[in-house]
Structure 1
Amino acid sequence: MDRCARRLPGRGEVVVTIFWRRLRERRAALVAAGVVALLVLVALAAPLLTALEGQDPTTYHPDLIDSARGGVPVGPFGGISGEHWLGVEPQTGRDLFARLVYGARVSLGVALAATVVQVFVGVAVGVAAGFGNRWVDQVLSRATDVIIALPLMVLALALMAVVPAGFPRPVLVALVIGLVAWGNMAKIVRAQTVTLRELDHVAAARLSGWGPVRIARRELLPALAAPVITYAALLVPVNITVEAALSFLGVGVKPPTPSWGQMLTAADVWYQAAPQYLLLPAGALFVTVLALTVLGDGVRAALDPRAASRLRIGTGRKREARA
């Protein structure tokens, strides 16, 4: 009889099932998730896509540039042809499609890596501050306040300027963003930890003789997963914007490595002669940030049980009004 009995779903499986059911109710979030998945697929398949086109992001094509007109691409619409699907870059003749898809790798990779650093540092500091004694809480909270008060762009510019040029720039940009902008994550985690440490199961773990590390790992971190995932989903589009801004200011990713922000920097003088050189990376940034923002908001609503209650209450009121 035991063999025929069904295995009951665990608590984690139930939570995941509820999350997916709530997320499916939000069509905008599903569309945004599809757009994000497509962008990630394009970034991962960049070598295959450029090989299919027969181009690469670093090769110069001087024969496709009209030097008499100041480096404007030869041909209509910025040199679009069967060999160059989106045309070529002014002055250099580098393939624009190849640079755009490889730039997605850099922009998305830097943003995701920076988010991982922010989550790791923010969760560690927030849990230590919320679960530690009064002195630890005071020191870490004041340090977090200082980090939040510092201007992100100014501090990032200063750090990027003093690092040797031989250090890999995408890694450097991700580390700088992550190590400078973890303050808000730490604040959120600390507030949640202060609430969780007063609950009965945490008090029972203390009375059982568990150490702080074990209590944090077994009792606090699983309960912190929802707010951390929610805020991390909203951090990714912010980090993409910061990376683009740093590259636009000339201290981010350096040529010949392609980046959407770097492409915008070089396109500011070509928007009249070759408008696609400006519109393509700007449009890619806009679509990516919008999709990630909508997806992050959908994840927040799906992980928040109060959102489902408000949705049901609002639906019930509408039905009563119709009746």
Structure 2
Amino acid sequence: MRNLIFGRMAFLMCASGTLLAGCALPLNTASAVPESAAGSRPLMKASACGPSVVYVTSYNNSVYIYDQAHNGKMPCGQITGVTNPQGLFVDKQHNLWVAISGDCKTAFSSVLEFAPGGTTPIKTLQDPDGSATDLAVDNATGTVYVTNFFNYTKGCASGSNGVVEVYAGGSTTPTSTLGDSHMNYAFNDAVDDHGNLYVTYLELNGPTGSGHIFEWHDGSGSPTDLGITLQAPGGIQTTKNGALLVCDQLVACGDFEPGSTTMTKLFATKTSGSFGVALDKHEKHAWVENPARSAGQLQRYAYPGPDKRALESITVPGGGYAGVAVSPASPQGKPY
């Protein structure tokens, strides 16, 4: 349990060099797309991809791209030169946003925006105070919310609680910060069609902890605890009926219906470790990244559940991690 709950913490610390032992990463597997040298400039190669794709982060400092219509088992493209990529998000213009945690040596925490068919980032958001973990863009206002797993206090060591950095009005630096004393580690976030922000987080209790979900009404002010308990927090999405789609790494993925604190319609139940999750534009399928599975598999399930067996499983080169996004993405859902 502890390994799953703190898996992201350990990986981020390994990448930044704050842990010296126990930092082995999965071995690379064969790829149809060449990998880049570490520290190179971010570059997207997606000319072989169609208009409907799935993006997934990898342990080998890449984001792989899969065409949903053709040859889905092999990547059609790749983003290279990204150090420790984390959460992914596709906005209403089909632009891809990538949270970069960096290594605190040659690459630092930031967020990159790529246009469809582009090769280099069209925007970079600076995140100087913490380790970027996930992000969500309010499609109505353009405001970007970036979760920092933890904030830095001395160099790149973990020392203070996780926060959400807010980038409003097109700013490339934070315009405000959202936090709470209970949010020791901030995980994933999502925005509904009224501009409300939802964040999965971990609250420590001695050597262990428990996951919960905060809501910031209108994406500002003080948070409301939704009364939901998670064993190990993971990805979150808003949906068209107001349910929150959430992955609990130790349980499964499923829905919290509006006002409910019980997860129902479970899927991805056969193997624990489900982390990142993304819905297609019609909310008919959910893509789940499970770094605990062999080679870090990307899996597609019927949505909503229940659905125990994946409709499709893809072995991600280098081992898939926690970030997954679909383009075109599902519209931002109704309030919970």
- Normalised-by-shorter TM-score class: under 0.3
**TM-score for both structures, normalised by structure 1:** 0.26
| TM-score (normalised: structure 2) | 0.25
Structure richer in strand, relative to its length:
2
